[in-house]
Amino acid sequence: MASTQDIETLKIQFADFLKRKKYRSTQERYNVLDRIGEIDRHFSADELYLYMNGKSDRISRATIYSTLDLLTQCGILMKHRFQGDSAHFELAIRMPDHDHLICVECGRIVEFREEGIDSVRNVVCNRLGFRPVTHSLQIFAVCHDPLTCEHNTQD
């Protein structure tokens, strides 16, 4: 879970973004960011919608989607598309520049940070004439010990 301090910093960052882009500062937008700060994992738009409405923050899906998009635009959130249908989000500060290993047997997702990816990113961008912005690496793998993997959430 992000600290209150972290969330306050992000709110300032978000406020700056909104002002710069001439979007309005609304209570709903800050509420979304507050609630995201309470979630220490990936979440889908709908999970956030249900979570917020469960907490008696009355908010619509339209606002959730729109705010998630703004938060992604300004770099506060990372948006991932894993194999499933819905996009997943998480605070970028949770684990900066981390990537995901996905077990092809059970769908479990393990987060990791491996510095080597930075040099791959730079080498490729230099070769092709681009400036890196971000990346998404997903490693699909199976565990050495299949028993560990018996959280069968899919199949």
| Segment interacting with DNA, rule: CB under 7 A, options 6-14, 53-61, 121-129, 145-153 | 53-61
- Contact call for residue 56 and DNA (CB under 7 A): no
H helices present in 21-44, as ranges: 27-37
**Cα 86 from Cα 46, distance rounded (Å):** 9
69: partner contacted, choices DNA, its own copies, none (Cβ within 5-8 A by kind): DNA
Instruction: Tell which one of 19, 41, 55, 135 touches its own copies (CB under 8 A).
Output: 135
Identify which of 114, 68, 57 has the alpha carbon closest to the alpha carbon of residue 91.
68
**Cα 102 from Cα 97, distance rounded (Å):** 17
Site for its own copies in 9-68 (CB under 8 A): none
50-58 contacts: CB < 8 A, separation 24 or more? 57/31
Residues in contact with its own copies by CB under 8 A are 81, 83, 99, 101, 103-104, 110, 112, 114, 116-117, 119-121, 123-125, 127-145, 148
